[in-house]
Amino acid sequence: MSGLTIHALDAGYRKHRVIHALDLPTLAPGSLLALVGANAAGKSTLLRTLAGLLPAQGGRATLGEANLLSLDALERRRLLGYLPQSLPSAASLYAWETVQAALRATRPGISRREADRLGEQLFERLGLQALAMQRMNVLSGGQRQMVGLAQLIVREPQLLLLDEPTSALDPRWQLELLGAVREMARSHGLIAVLALHDLNLALRFCDRVLVLGEGRVLAEGRPAEFMTPGVLRAAYGVEGRVETCSQGATVVYIDRACPNPSFGAIA
Ligand SMILES: Nc1ncnc2c1ncn2[C@@H]1O[C@H](COP(=O)(O)OP(=O)(O)OP(=O)(O)O)[C@@H](O)[C@H]1O
């Protein structure tokens, strides 16, 4: 497998174009890309389009040799894992059963013993052992988010598309989830694209960050390279500082909302 490339992608809903001629220089296997930007910037629309849930209106998106915009259902299930912003409560199945079902959907011939081994390994890696025998409809939003990720990871897709995967998680579980995704990317050559509102998590965990503004790329690059107060003003209409923390990571402090925001113009 080689990387994820997007070229001149247009996407949206019937006559409402949301994503305009979006380009993404090739993202290498093993990388995490954060999609950030204001509400309604188009993050979910872009993820849904890459996941094949929304037809593209133009352009290309490829994963290695595969054209992401015209995969059949089987190929899509084999290559992609998509975690939507809000998960259905998924009836009364046990968390363990949902992960086993996800595994069997892509590896129907897997032995019971191997499926159990992989399931146990994953629940342990994600620290979810206590949830295995709980029913999905009694889990909290954050617990469901973690089990949702387990359902995707167990299939070992090549591309993970995660829409605000940390939105319901407390700080410890945010680190667990992003750490697990990064580890999976490094060990399996997986690519992950994550819509995130927490800029500091994006800067800390992701190899590249793409800032969307009204469906266009406002800035893109490695965390330490492109984030400036001008980008914060243009993307979010806020005044902020970009500093390096004592551990060497780029961090953002938001000070106030701009009185007269000019979205989209990086000064
Ligand atoms: N099903 C839909 N039909 C028509 N327009 C939609 C639909 N879903 C989203 N939109 C519009 O597309 C635009 C982008 O929305 P999108 O959900 O992609 O933004 P987002 O960056 O993910 O926002 P947020 O951070 O608030 O989740 C918005 O103007 C929104 O109103």
Q: Is the CB of 53 under 6 A from ligand 1?
A: no
259 and 129 share a domain?
no
Looking at residue 77, its pLDDT comes to 87
Same domain, 67 and 103: yes
Q: How far apart are CA 112 and CA 126, in angstroms?
A: 21
Length of the chain: 267
Residues 136 and 240 placed together within one structural domain of the fold: no
Q: Is 35 in the pocket of ligand 1 (CB under 6 A)?
A: no
Question: What pLDDT sits at residue 107?
Answer: 87
Q: Could you identify the atom of ligand 1 that is nearest to the CA of residue 41?
A: 21
Q: What is the pLDDT of residue 198?
A: 95
Nearest atom in ligand 1 to 45's CA: 18
Contact 32, 207 (CB under 8 A): yes
Number of domains in the chain: 2
The domain of 265 spans 227-267
At 166 the pLDDT is 92
Measured in Å, residue 213 CA sits from the centre of ligand 1 at: 12
The predicted pLDDT at position 90 comes to 60
- Determine which residue's CA is closest to atom 7 belonging to ligand 1: 13
45 lines ligand 1 (CB under 6 A): yes
- Assign residue 37 the CATH number of its domain: 3.40.50.300
Q: Is the CB of 40 under 6 A from ligand 1?
A: yes
pLDDT for the residue numbered 89: 62
Residues 245 and 212 in one domain: no
Are 217 and 244 part of one and the same domain? no
Q: Are 131 and 142 in contact (CB under 8 A)?
A: no
Residues 57 and 133 in one domain: yes
Give yes or no for residue 41 CB within 6 A of ligand 1: yes
How far does the centroid of ligand 1 lie from the alpha carbon of residue 55, in Å?
A: 15
Mark whether 263 and 245 lie in a shared domain.
Answer: yes
Residues 193 and 234 in one domain: no
Pairing of strands 32-37, 191-195: parallel
The structure tokens 């009185």 sit at 259
pLDDT at 88: 67
Q: State which of 20, 22, 44 you would mutate to test the pocket of ligand 1, scoring each by most atoms of that ligand within 8 A of its C-beta.
A: 44
Residues 177 and 211 reside in one and the same domain:
yes
Nearest CA residue ID for atom 24, ligand 1: 39
For residue 231, the CA-to-ligand 1 centroid distance in Å is 21
Q: What phi, psi does 199 have (nearest 5°)?
A: -60, -35
Mean pLDDT per 10-residue segment, the chain (267 residues)? 91 94 95 96 97 95 94 90 79 90 90 94 92 91 90 93 92 92 93 96 95 95 89 94 91 92 74
Give the position, in ligand 1's atom list, of the atom nearest the Cα of 48.
Answer: 18
d(CA 156, CA 190): 8
Compute the distance between CA of residue 190 and CA of residue 205 in angstroms, rounded to an integer.
15
At residue 53, the pLDDT reads 93
SS3 call for 15: coil
Q: How far is CA 104 from CA 11, 82, 112, 155, in A?
A: 32, 17, 10, 9
Which residue's CA is the closest to the ligand 1 atom numbered 11?
40
235 and 159 share one domain: no
Query: Can you give the pLDDT at residue 2?
Result: 81
Q: DSSP letter string over 147-192?
A: HHHHHHHTT--SEEEEESTTTT--HHHHHHHHHHHHHHHHHH--EE
Same domain, 77 and 145: yes
72 and 192 belong to one structural domain: yes
Q: Where are the alpha helices (DSSP H) in 52-133?
A: 73-79, 95-106, 112-125
